[in-house]
Amino acid sequence: MAKKFGKFLLGVTAAGAAAAGVYYLLKKKNEDELEDEFEDDFEDDDFELDDDLGAVSERGYVPLTPSSDSKEEKEESCSDEFDKAVEDAVAEADKAVEDIASEDEKASEEAADMGSASDASTQKSE
């Protein structure tokens, strides 16, 4: 019994490997055909690298290691910009607080006027 099962398992494994091989070959063949179809789309006849690039002396290059002076200048300008932004934000907040305080003051005065008017009307009716 074990001998038959071993042969069966070997046969199934061989059939699976053969099926996987055929699948891989068909898949690879289809990918190659798709690449051939789109290959012409990526070729640009008008593009000439030598014509598009200027002379070596005309090209501007960026150094790979920036100088420390420019880093310090950038830090200073960033800190200046940050300080200005903070000052602007504080000024806006102060203005908003003043506006709210003046609105509260006006509302308090109106409430006091209404309260005194209602007290006067109650005194007249008595």
User: For the segment 69-81, what is each residue's pLDDT rounded down to a tens digit?
Assistant: 666 677 777 888 8
pLDDT band at 124 (very low <50, low <70, confident <90, very high): low
Q: Is residue 75 part of a domain?
A: yes
Whether pLDDT at 53 is above 80: no
User: Which domain, by its residues, includes 112?
Assistant: 68-119
pTM over 0.85: no
Q: Is residue 61 part of a domain?
A: no
Q: Give the pLDDT score at 22.
A: 95
**Higher-confidence position of 48 and 23:** 23
Number of domains in the chain: 2
Q: Give the pLDDT score at 16.
A: 96
Specify whether 85 is located in the same domain as 41. no
Give residue for tokens 């920036």: 66
Single-letter code of the amino acid located at 50: D
**Higher-confidence position of 120 and 16:** 16
pLDDT band at 28 (very low <50, low <70, confident <90, very high): confident
Q: Which one, of 61, 64, 65, 45, lies nearest residue 53 by Cα?
A: 61
Q: Is residue 49 part of a domain?
A: yes
Whether pLDDT at 96 is above 70: yes
DSSP string computed for 69-108 = HHHHHHHHHHHHHHHHHHHHHHHHHHHHHHHHHHHHHHHH
Q: Is residue 59 part of a domain?
A: no
